[in-house]
Structures are given as C-alpha cells and as structure tokens.
Amino acid sequence: MNFTQSYRLPFFAVALCASVLLVSCKNSRGTLDYGKTVTIGKEALSDKIKGGWAGQTIGCTYGGPTEFKYKGGIIHDSAPLVWYDNYAYETFIEDPGLYDDVYMDITFAEVMARVGIDAPADSFALAFANADYKLWHANQAARYNILNGIMPPQSGHWRSNPHADDIDFQIEADFIGTICPAMSNTSLEFCNRTGHIFNYGDGWYGGVYLSIMYSLAFVTDDIPLIVNEALKAIPAGTKYRAVIEDVIALHRRNPNDWKYCWFEIEKKYGYEKGCPEGVFNGFNIDAALNSAYVVIGLLYGEGDFERTMDIATRCGQDSDCNPASAAGILGVAFGYEAIPDKWKPAIERVEKLNFPYTNTSLETMYELNMKLLYDVVLREGGKIAPDGGITVTLQEPQTAQYEQSFEGIKPTERRVLKKKFSNELSLNFTGSAIVVMGQVTQTCTNNENYAAVLEAWIDGKKVEEFKMPYDYIKRKYDIFYKYDLDDTAHTLVLKVKNPHTSYVIEAKELVVYGNETNINTNPSKL
C-alpha cells in the first residue's frame, strides 16, 4: 500500500476537523518559518500526544521478538513479523523488561510532575537509579555510578561509563520531544540536563536528534524535512552527524531500495568502538548506527506507518527500540486517529494498564504529557487558549556542543577469559585502556545480600576500590575499566577483599584499546 493510501489521507481528514495548525509554519519553499508563531488546537494536540506514545508502544512490541537476534544482518522479507490484537497485553505480562525505553521515559516525566520542569539532573538520576526495574548498558552503568556516588554528568562520561555511546538516551528522550512542541532548543536544554546522566558524545546526540524530530513533528508531517532540520542540532565533525548525513545522501541517490542504503551504512559504520560487548563482534548497540536504522525507516517508509516500522525493525540490531522511535515520531506527525486500525485494538487493551515497574498507564501518560507541555509552553512565553490549544514560537534548532567519546583510542584486542576467582586474578595486557567484562556468580543457594569488594592494581599500584553487588538491579555492568594509561605493557591484578564461600567473580572477556594516530574526525561522505 502506498503512502497516500495508507497514512496521509487519514491525517488530512483529522487535520481538517481538529485544526492541527491554525497558523502554517511551512512555507512554499519546503522549509519552516522559524521565529513565527504556531497555533495547535487542543484536539489536535491531544491526538498527537496520544499518537506519539501509542506509536512508541506499538513499535517496541512489534520489534520485541527480534531484538538483537539479527546482528549485522537484515531480517529477510520472508521472515514473518507477528501482530495480533492481544499481542501488547501478553507482552506486558510475559516480557515486561522489553519496555525499558518506555518506563525510563515515564520515570523522568514523573520527576518533572513532582519536582517541576526545571528539576535538576540529580533528581532524575536518583529516581531512575533507585527504581526497581531492570536496566542494561549505559543505563545500568550509570545507575551503578550514581548509587556509588558518581553523579551526572560524570555518570555518563565515557571515562566513567564504557557504554557512553550506546543507544540508551536515544530511546529515552521521546518524552522530551513530546513536551516541547515546535521548541527544538528547549528540547536541547532538557537533553543537556538529563542525557548526560547516562551518555556522552554520540550516545548523547542520539537523544538530542530524536527528541528534536519529535518537536518538529508537531508542526509538519514532511518526514524528510523533519529528518534534515533536526540534524542542524548535531555538530559537524562528529561520527553521529556523518552517519545520518550518509543515510540522507544514500536515500536521495536511491530512494526505492532501503536495503541498498542499509548495506552501504553497514559497510562503513557497522563496527563498535565503545561498548565492549560489541567490539570485534556482530553485536552493535551504538547510538549512531541504530539512529541510522530509525532514519532509514522514516525516509524509506514515506509516512506509511507499517512500512516505516517494518523497515526500522528489519534493519536488525536493537530492532524493538528503533521501530518504537520511528513509529513514535510518525504518531506525533500524523496523530493517533491516522494510525491504521490494524494496530489499535492491541493498544486499547493495554491503555489502562500500568507500564511494568511503574504506576503510570498510557492513558495517565497522555494526561501527564499535556500538563508538562503546558508548563513548558508558559515558561517559554507561549500562550494557552481557553479551549486548551497552544500558541508557541517555532524555534530553529541550534547546534549542540561538540563532544566525542573514546577519542584517541581504538580497540586492539578482545580476549576470552572464562575465569572464576574468589581471591585474586592477574591479567597481562598491552595498551592504553582495558575493560574486563563479567559478574558476581552464585555457587550455591544463599539468600545473603552479598556485594564483593574488589581492589584493582595496575603495575603494582592500587588504582581503585569498588563494590560488585550480586543483586541484579544494583550490579556493576562491567567488572573493571580504566582509560588514559600509557600505551605499553601492563599487569592488572583484581583482589577480592571479602571473599564468600557462596560467590565467585566470573571474568568472561576483556577488551584492550591502544592509542590511535591520524584520527579522522570528519569522515568522508559516501
């Protein structure tokens, strides 16, 4: 089904009756009239908010079964992607951890509702760090940092968080865009306050870019325009900008074959530098690459809800989060009423259910989103009409500050360890940085709330003492990491200060980095 048939006509039908834009923000040249006021009626505003949250939930559910099952490969057209009316309900019950990108959004929105939209970074950090839901990668590494006294922005910096470039903020910045209609720079301000809790560099830019696409989706349904204008916020010379620019260029070159675009992006960028699990491996949770899959879905989907979501899913890797972002942006651009009826029964059956690990349902989130949006509009000098509509000034995206993670180093070795120790482990390596992956493992049933205390010694000098809780929620995501060493031979010794007969430290693998020369900070375009 083509673009006009499947999505856009229903949107225009809604727009006519709901007064989406009482003042046009798009001029005849196909650009946006920045600096002018935009008015959005209450009915249309509600429809867009609902569309964004419902779209995100649909996309996350749709791509859930294939998450990280296709690493460096496309999900073939012949592989069916399942959907049925009870699907979201069953997923809520059976696989609650799938919705980490939604319940993290909700946590931050709840902080704003409680403390105010100007809540400090520490309020957000402590709320999610002390929540009882499961987290992974940059989120979990940041949670551990915060619980152990390393607060933002250091909690998300790459020297304190080996997962700083991971996808985490990209999938948790939706709530920012949905409370900042037309206000890209206000969105950037919120990103600066919250995103560095768990990410830095390209990992942070993922949230900046996605949130601004949401902001712009309130005022235009021109998807290529949204994709291009939001990119103004990403500094030149960053890998993130280079990746998205290449997707845009490849789409212009061949607008009918998304697999061509995917293959060219994979050839050039399908490698991990930061996340140790992905180094020299097919696994890739890098924000820049996964954002590329979101944009591939948006551009090649041409506004068709199902096709956009399907393409973003079939790109592989984080195949639940990427369609969630793409579908959420479309949901805001076109509104909930324009989402094809095929997808609505599943959402209607969970709208009143609290998201896993929260006290907030979709219906509650629609209302909370509107309240926070009104607070932001008034703070930014906008107006709220008696009927609940808003008038705001359309902000042109400003360029965010330049920052890049893991500058000056590159991975040189990945080594399988498979070593369990309860007292001491010695490892030799040659390089300027090291990450040791692993966990605390229970050797026999014990209900004691054990936290190993380790010392790290490099070349005979103690460099750190840290805890490793057995508790999965409070766990240290990687055993040990250290950057900024001399690029030479080293000996790392890990010593357990409080050994326990029921627990061991399981060192699974390590990744070594060396200094990189002739760094190319402005990758060539395709």
Pairwise CA distance, residues 415 & 407, whole Å: 22
Say yes or no to pLDDT of 193 above 70: yes
For residues 290-311, give the mean pLDDT: 98
Q: State residue 97's pLDDT score.
A: 82
Q: What residue spans of 336-471 are helical by DSSP H?
A: 344-348, 362-379
Report, as an integer, the average pLDDT of 51-74: 96
277: left (phi over 0), alpha (psi -120 to 50) or beta: alpha
pLDDT at 264 over 70: yes
pLDDT tens for each residue of 450-481: 999 999 999 999 999 999 999 999 999 999 99
Alpha helices in 64-136 (DSSP H): 87-94, 100-115, 121-129
Separation between Cα atoms, residue 487 and residue 516, nearest integer Å = 10
The phi-psi region of residue 353 (left if phi > 0; otherwise alpha if psi is between -120 and 50; otherwise beta) is: beta
How many CB atoms are closer than 10 A to CB 250?
22
What are the chain's domains?
3-393 (1.10.4080.10), 409-515 (2.60.120.260)
Average pLDDT, the chain: 92
pLDDT at 9 over 50: no
Structure tokens at 418: 């498979």
Beta 451-458 vs 383-384: how paired, if at all? unpaired
Q: DSSP characters for 214-281? A: HHHHTT---HHHHHHHHGGGSPTTSHHHHHHHHHHHHHHH-TT-HHHHHHHHHHHH---SS-TTTTTS
Q: pLDDT: is 17 or 139 the higher one? A: 139
Q: Is the pLDDT of residue 319 over 70?
A: yes
Tokens 């152990």 belong to 148
What is the distance between the alpha carbons of residues 311 and 499, in angstroms, rounded to a whole number? 50
- In a 10 Å sphere around its CB, with 0-12 CB exposed, 13-18 middle and 19+ buried, how is residue 398 labelled? exposed
Which pLDDT score is estimated for 358?
A: 86
At 26 the pLDDT is 60
The answer to whether the CB of 168 falls within 8 A of the CB of 503 is no
Report pLDDT for 27: 56
Cα separations (Å) of 61 from 54, 166, 319?
11, 21, 10
- Round to whole Å and give the CA distance between 333 and 229: 14
pLDDT of residue 25: 60
Average pLDDT, stretch 515-526? Answer: 52
At 204 the pLDDT is: 98
User: 491 near 451, Cβ under 8 Å?
Assistant: no
- 444 or 7, which is more confident? 444
* Global model pTM greater than 0.85: yes
**pLDDT higher than 60, residue 10:** no
For residue 16, the one-letter residue type is L
d(CA 287, CA 220): 25
SS3 assignment, position 162? coil
Which amino acid makes up residue 375?
Answer: D
Contacts of 507 (CB under 8 A, 6+ apart): 417, 418, 419, 420, 421, 425, 427, 436, 437, 438, 479, 494
Angle between helices 239-253 and 223-230 (to 10 degrees): 150
Asked if residue 340 has pLDDT above 70, the reply is yes
| CA separation for the pair 442, 450 (Å, rounded) | 10
Instruction: Measure the CA–CA gap between 426 and 456, rounded to whole angstroms.
Output: 10
DSSP letter string, 274-323 = S-TTTTTSS---BHHHHHHHHHHHHHHHTT-HHHHHHHHHHT-SSTTHHH
Q: Is residue 212 within 8 Å of 202, Cβ to Cβ?
A: no
Residue with tokens 């000056």: 408
Closest residue by Cα to residue 137 from 212, 88, 86, 206: 206
Alpha-carbon Rg for the chain in angstroms: 23
Distance of alpha carbon 166 from alpha carbon 317, whole angstroms? 12
